[in-house]
Amino acid sequence: MKPTVWSLPGVLILSILIVGLTACTFFERKESETSVTKQILPAQPPMVSKLELVQSSEGARLTPKGDTIPGAAKVQKSAVDEIRENSPVVQAAERHPQVQEKLGHRYFFISAEPAKSKERFCPSSLLRSSGQAVTIPALTRLTYYSYSNTAAVIVCMNEQEFVSLPVVPKDYQPPESDREEEEAIRVARLDPRIQDKVKDLQARVILTDPEWRLWWWNQEGYGHRVFYVTFERDGSGAPQYWAVVDLAQEADQDKVRQAGAEPTR
């Protein structure tokens, strides 16, 4: 006869399980409560300073308006702001034959900054072809995105002397540059689906990251620099129109993948 739950062996097994669970609960370790000293709340709640953001140019990143912290300007002014696209180190890099080959004829300058001590791409200690390590204290890291080759390009420079072109992972996406944002906005405004509607609207841009799925199921624009552009009334914070711009495409009419009006909320 096949034993059931209510047969003698089944009842014994069930009883043992109940006793075991009860014992575990009884001997369970209880954490001691942390004592907290009570404090009197202030009579008046503290004042909250309103953070106002300003936009220096259409499509540029928002930055805090003013700053009351002494010396904050020195902190906020980064090395990226000091090394401009027309600086000698950038011009010297773009004249180098190896850099020109990597960039191709369509590319955007992203940023230039002094390499950090534990820099991933431009470390302060490099190996020469002889295998001997040499320390270069004043390396500058230049970042580009090549639309000709659909890849990020990083150049290591020692002042105006070319040092190396490190290997950059294929899926590495540097942050968007101001020129890329301006180009995405320009192209989005030309799209016939929204052209007449966005003339007097303010634009904002973010760099998207189309998902990898499975070959033909990959999200549209996967592996490209795709920007999501929205248009709104000044300071409203409520986008009215949008466009998905793929700057990897050569012709302007092919760059806008989608465009339309935001759904009414």
Residue-wise DSSP of 138-161:
TEEEEEEEETTTTEEEEEEEETTE
Based on the domain organization, do 184 and 254 belong to the same domain? Answer: yes
**pLDDT value of position 218:** 42
Q: What's the pLDDT band for 179 if we cut at 50, 70, 90?
A: very high
Q: Which of 36-40, 163-167, 210-214 has the lowest mean pLDDT?
A: 210-214
Q: What's the pLDDT band for 29 if we cut at 50, 70, 90?
A: low
Based on the domain organization, do 184 and 252 belong to the same domain? Answer: yes
- Is the pLDDT at 170 greater than 90, yes or no? no
Calculate mean pLDDT across residues 201-216. 72
Based on the domain organization, do 143 and 208 belong to the same domain? Answer: no
Based on the domain organization, do 256 and 211 belong to the same domain? Answer: yes
Is 252 part of any domain? yes
Report the run of H or E that residue 126 belongs to, with start and end: strand 125-127
Could you give the number of structural domains in the chain?
2
Based on the domain organization, do 111 and 146 belong to the same domain? Answer: yes
Is 25 part of any domain? no
Is 151 part of any domain? yes
Is 142 part of any domain? yes
Based on the domain organization, do 89 and 156 belong to the same domain? Answer: yes
Alpha helices in the chain (DSSP H): 8-26, 72-76, 79-82, 88-95, 97-103, 178-190, 252-255
Beta strands at 125-127 and 226-232: parallel, antiparallel or unpaired: unpaired
Based on the domain organization, do 227 and 159 belong to the same domain? Answer: no
Q: Which of 47-61, 114-128, 167-181, 244-258 has the lowest mean pLDDT?
A: 47-61
Cβ atoms 235, 220 nearer than 8 A: no
Is 35 part of any domain? no
Q: What's the pLDDT band for 37 if we cut at 50, 70, 90?
A: confident
Based on the domain organization, do 150 and 189 belong to the same domain? Answer: no
- Is the pLDDT at 242 greater than 80, yes or no? yes
Task: Provide the 8-state DSSP code for 201.
Answer: S
- Is the pLDDT at 250 greater than 70, yes or no? yes
**pLDDT value of position 106:** 93
CA 49 to chain centre: 28
Is 201 part of any domain? yes
- Is the pLDDT at 66 greater than 90, yes or no? no
Last residue of a domain, one of 134, 164, 194: 164
Is 129 part of any domain? yes
Q: What's the pLDDT band for 131 if we cut at 50, 70, 90?
A: low
Q: Which domain holds residue 199?
A: 178-261
Query: How many CA atoms lie less than 13 Å away from 80 in the CB half-sphere?
Result: 9
Based on the domain organization, do 96 and 151 belong to the same domain? Answer: yes
- Is the pLDDT at 39 greater than 60, yes or no? yes
**pLDDT value of position 243:** 92
**Tens of pLDDT, residues 91-109:** 999 999 999 999 999 999 9
Is 154 part of any domain? yes
- Is the pLDDT at 55 greater than 70, yes or no? no
Last residue of a domain, one of 132, 164, 196: 164
